[in-house]
Structure 1
Amino acid sequence: MAIPVIDFSKLNGEERAKTLSEIGNCCEEWGFFQLINHGISEELLERVKKVASECYRVEREPGFKDSKAVQLLNELLEKKSDGRVEDADWEEVFLLSDHNSNDWPSNTPQFKETMKEYRDELKKLAIKVMEVMDENLGLERGYINRAFNAGEDTTDAAFFGTKVSHYPPCPHPDKVNGLRAHTDAGGVILLFQDDEVGGLQILKDRVWVDVQPIKNAIVINTGDQIEVLSNGRYKSVWHRVLVSTHGNRRSIASFYNPSYKATIQPAPGLDQELSEAKKYPKFQFGDYMSVYVDQKFLPKEPRFNAVRAV
């Protein structure tokens, strides 16, 4: 079983209807799909790989040996315990956003310039993907994007963040999680994953399925807020990252999320569409995130039940 691969360029040709249908099926049945021919140049993607890997080697790798995950694993080994490290991930990670640009890594040549260009292109792709979802759901073009923006004030705009992660080799991969199983809190996630070192898996029909590495593909998955807006028609699915004894997995995940002030609820026309309509509460995304921070690795249903309705 393999994650569906969609040729995004076919939306502009005679196969548009077929491609729209394929993407709709991916959102409903998988919650994940891979895009090829997505419009982001291979030259830019190669530069992103280069600066991300160099940044990790020069600026981030030396500090990983002092991370919580490494310390907890060493404690287990010293005690000769049969247990696992359950409350930390074998992940070296930092966030890039418009709000923290002064804190971006600065000792890797061309890192800032390359990642800014990449983020600009990826944000455009995110909006295109959401417009496809609008069309498939029978919504006005731009509906999801507008729902993610709380108003015209730029301080209430949708959030676009990029998480740069590496999963270094681990001498005892049976004792750690690369990234614990979870669903994503936000909207649309666009992942530029390693094309050589695997490890990402999704839960499909109670079976963990590998997200196969494809060179220069962008992996798309739908988060919890897309599930709510679609009234459960589109799925936010469980996924995780495994580590191994070899290879250093690179993962660059970008999140197009609602503003914290955005009110999220099933879209008009979809709220009663299903025969057994989902009972998602109407809530502010910021309130949902307050619950999510504490319950990230727990089932999403209790999160929806715990969030304060408005």
Structure 2
Amino acid sequence: MVHADQEKLVQVVAADVGLVAPPSRYVLREENRPTTVAKQAKLVIPIVDVSRLAMPDDVEESAKLRSALQSWGLFVVTGHGMPTELLDEILEATRKFFHLPPEEKQKCGNVIDGVSFQNEGYGIDRIDSDEQVLDWCDRLWLQLQPEDERRLQFWPQHLRELLHEYTLESGRVTMDVLKAMAKLLNQEEGFFIDMVGERFKSYSRFTYYPPCPRPDLVNGLKPHTDNSVITLLLMDKDVGGLQVLKDGNWVDVPVLGHDLLVVVGEGMEIVSNAIFKAPWHRVVTSADKERMSLAMFYQPEPERIIGPPGALVHEKRPPMFKKCLVQTLADGYWDAFAVGDRTVDFLNVRINAEADAELEARAVVANN
């Protein structure tokens, strides 16, 4: 059986004209609220022009990519070549979906016959207990690749052709980024692409954040790291809300227009032997504006066993993770996400934490 609140959509809760504060299921403990967790820092998110990364003599852009990955775990993507018309259309189609009547959206619902929950489809994230604080968002989660594994019954009709095109374009950008990341480690450009395999998995998460009368009390989306190799994020062109944790401070990611954001996932942290690290990030809400986003997650083939590859393990950098089945990581992610933990920690995949911290401290000293 699913939890009694599993089918309670945030968009419906927020539409109550008499709502002056979010229901208690969404209210964070005082020490976890967005205004009290940590001060916000006025830092600048790094920007990388991916069109220049393929140029063998553009050492400046490669250096910017290395710095962004090692110090932030994410970067703004310019020069991606995706048509602006396509980006506008997919965001508008997202808005159209979340503005459909409830009965239309529920045709894609992730609760089946009121008795079973599945990750794919429309609804809210999984609820495991009465004590779990819920996020102030609804989402549509779809598997995109391999293409022959798509479950089109969960795909809104007006999104199908557009999402297919967007999947191809975002996949191209993702492969370009993976090639550039491999070259940073002095590996062949196909190093990470070969690791994910030909039948890698990709997923989309369309997320809707309705206005909240007390945004200071809730998480739009709780602090988390991604379970992907990398995530490609298209954000609302008008409303911000994404924040990344940097040096103990929450930093606002600005509104990016037609630029994208690449976020390192825990899968990349494992296969880079923690040279590249998955950053903690969250979403805060607005009192009077709705917000949309579209995240594309890329994961290796589920039957693969991944771990720090031999090429990146040596005396000065021992293996930082145990070998693990990709499907185990994928399944464990939802358990870890529900309790606000990293998957690699929840599943006890991480090893040599002390050595990793020492190496990171050395890198900071060297960079200064």
**Fold shared, TM-score > 0.5 on shorter chain:** yes
User: Is residue 2:297 matched to residue 1:255?
Assistant: yes
Cα 1:127/1:259, change in 2 over 3 Å: same
Where does structure 1 differ by over 6 angstroms across 4 or more consecutive aligned residues? Answer: 61-64
User: Is residue 2:138 matched to residue 1:92?
Assistant: yes
Instruction: State the partner residue of 1:74.
Output: none
User: Is residue 2:164 matched to residue 1:116?
Assistant: yes
1:213 alignment partner, one of 247, 255, 262: 255
Equivalent pair of 2:273/2:308 in contact (CA under 8 Å): yes
User: Is residue 2:152 matched to residue 1:101?
Assistant: yes
Instruction: State the partner residue of 2:325.
Output: 284
Over residues 171-212 of structure 1, what are the superposed CA-to-partner deviations in whole Å (9 max), with x where a residue is unaligned?
122222100101111211000001211110011001000111
**Secondary structure class of the residue paired with 1:58:** coil
Q: Distance in 2 between matches of 1:226 and 1:55?
A: 32
In the TM superposition, residue 61 of structure 1 has moved relative to its aligned partner by 10
Cα 1:61/1:89, change in 2 over 3 Å: farther
Cα 1:220/1:60, change in 2 over 3 Å: farther
User: Is residue 2:342 matched to residue 1:302?
Assistant: no
Q: Distance in 2 between matches of 1:3 and 1:21?
A: 15
**Which letter maps to 1:281?**
K
Q: Distance in 1 between matches of 2:164 and 2:344?
A: 36
Q: Distance in 2 between matches of 1:62 and 1:105?
A: 9
Equivalent pair of 1:147/1:263 in contact (CA under 8 Å): no
Deviates more, 1:190-199 or 1:289-298: 289-298
Output the aligned Cα RMSD: 2.5
Cα 1:257/1:12, change in 2 over 3 Å: closer
Aligned-pair identity in percent equals: 29
Unmatched 5+ stretches in structure 1? 70-84
**Secondary structure class of the residue paired with 2:100:** helix
Cα 1:165/1:60, change in 2 over 3 Å: farther
Instruction: State the partner residue of 1:172.
Output: 214
Q: Distance in 1 between matches of 2:334 and 2:91?
A: 30
Aligned length: 281
In the TM superposition, residue 9 of structure 1 has moved relative to its aligned partner by 2.3
Q: Distance in 2 between matches of 1:87 and 1:208?
A: 20
> What is the TM-score with the length of structure 2 in the denominator?
0.71
**Which letter maps to 2:269?**
E
Q: Distance in 1 between matches of 2:305 and 2:66?
A: 24
In the TM superposition, residue 52 of structure 1 has moved relative to its aligned partner by 1.3
In the TM superposition, residue 298 of structure 1 has moved relative to its aligned partner by 1.3
Equivalent pair of 1:190/1:218 in contact (CA under 8 Å): yes
Unmatched 5+ stretches in structure 2? 1-42, 107-122, 126-130, 145-149, 351-368
